[in-house]
Amino acid sequence: MKHTAQYAVLAALLFAGAAVFAADNKSGSVEKHTIKLKNGKVMEDAVILDRKPNGVTFGNKEGCTFVPYSDMPSDVQKYFGYDPIKSARYEKKIDDQKKANQRAQEAQKAKAEKLKVEQDKRNKDRRISQQQQKVRKLELELEEAKKKLETTESTVSEDRGALVSTLNNNSRVSVDTPWGVGRIRTSSNNSAVRNKLTKEVDTLSAKRDNQAQDVINLQLKLEAAQKTLNTLLENSK
């Protein structure tokens, strides 16, 4: 019968003293012992539960107790067949196993910590890569938005020039948008052409305003994304 948790319960408390040993050998009954340990503690009606080279595990009404041979009187040691050499070897084996288990636990812990560090680095690298892709995407979107804005502004400017060219010397032209190009009012001839150009200039001016706002929004998004990327790069050092 194997026991583990009780082995060390009283080992630190049992020291010098005298011992009294008695046994009940009645036929068909369980062998019980009354033992007085070196520290003066008396174990009544103790039954042997397990023997090891370094001690005996007893059980009685108080529970299970492991008693090292070193805490037993010499006559009790002899009765239980105590062998100092075997006991020392067994104790060394137990100690070596504990040290081996400790080394294994430390190695496992070190391995787990190393894996965590490596995983954290991979996670950081992945976040940096994703943020770099986001920054690059915004840069391309901003570049494309600026090209569209330039094209629209150029078209507005051309339409405005064409509109002005239809006016005679007595025509009155006014530009009233913040961008410097916008609705043009005139009272000259060729009204159908001028009306068409004026409508186109109005439409394109509104489109240009929206595209200009898109450029501003993309610039703000790009600045925020670049700031996040810089923070990630700084934290990865």
CATH code of 215's domain: 1.10.287
For residue range 115-130, what is the model confidence (pLDDT) as tens digits?
Answer: 999 999 999 999 999 9
Q: Are residues 122 and 209 in the same domain?
A: yes
131-190 pLDDT per residue, tens? 999 999 999 999 999 999 999 888 888 877 776 666 544 444 444 444 444 444 444 455
User: Looking at the structure, do residues 22 and 78 belong to the same domain, yes or no?
Assistant: yes
Question: Do 62 and 144 fall within a single domain?
Answer: no
Domain shared by 77 and 129, yes or no: no
Q: Using alpha carbons, select from 125, 203, 122, 121 the residue that is nearest to residue 160.
A: 203
Q: Which of 28, 58, 82 is the last residue of a domain?
A: 82
CB 173 within 8 A of CB 160: no
- Whether 95 maps to a domain, the answer reads no
Of the pLDDT bands very low, low, confident and very high (cuts 50, 70, 90), residue 69 is: very high
State the CB neighbour count (10 A cutoff) for residue 194. Answer: 21
- Residue 92 domain-assigned? no
Q: Could you give the percent of the chain with pLDDT greater than 70?
A: 74
Residue 9, pLDDT above cutoff 70: no
Per the structure, the complete domain to which residue 72 belongs is given by 1-82
* Pair (77, 11) in one structural domain: yes
Specify the amino acid at residue 150. Answer: E
Q: 17 and 125, same structural domain? A: no
Assess whether 230 and 143 both reside in one domain.
yes
Let me know if residue 37 belongs to a domain. Answer: yes
Residue-wise pLDDT tens digits, 178-222: 444 444 444 445 566 667 777 887 888 889 899 999 999 999 999
Q: Are residues 49 and 145 in the same domain?
A: no
Question: Residue 32's beta-bridge partner residues?
Answer: 24
Q: Strand pairing of 55-60 and 63-68?
A: antiparallel
Give me the chain's average pLDDT, please: 80
Taking CA atoms, 64 is separated from 51, 91, 165, in Å, by 13, 20, 113
Residues 42 and 143 in one domain: no
Q: How many domains does the chain have?
A: 2
